[in-house]
Amino acid sequence: MDVHPLLPAGTWDWFCLDDVRYHGRTRTILWDRDGRRYGRGAGLSGWPNGIRIADTSDLRPVTGALP
């Protein structure tokens, strides 16, 4: 799973793309600058089918292996 955010750093404090269907899987992409909005830690993270497989502390591309 590759996530390449197009949002410039420093623009938004948080966003969530939840339950996005892609190639037969449900994906969630979270950006939470300080971890308080969603309670799943600070940074950018990718969750296919509810399993956290990729994360980074800042808003930059991140890659994780699909289960």
What is the per-residue pLDDT across 36-58, written as a single tens digit (0 to 9) for each?
999 999 999 999 988 999 999 99
Residues 5 and 60 sit within 8 Å (Cβ to Cβ): yes
DSSP-based three-state secondary structure for 4: coil
Per the domain annotation, does 20 fall within a domain? yes
Per the domain annotation, does 36 fall within a domain? yes
CA distance 20 to 36: 23
Two tokens, residue 39? 């309670």
Per the domain annotation, does 28 fall within a domain? yes
Exposed/middle/buried for residue 30 (C-beta within 10 Å: 0-12, 13-18, 19+): buried
pLDDT at 59: 92
Per the domain annotation, does 2 fall within a domain? no
For 34, the domain range is 12-59
Per the domain annotation, does 6 fall within a domain? no
pTM, two decimal places: 0.87
CA distance 35 to 25: 25
Per the domain annotation, does 5 fall within a domain? no
The domain total for the chain is 1
Per the domain annotation, does 3 fall within a domain? no
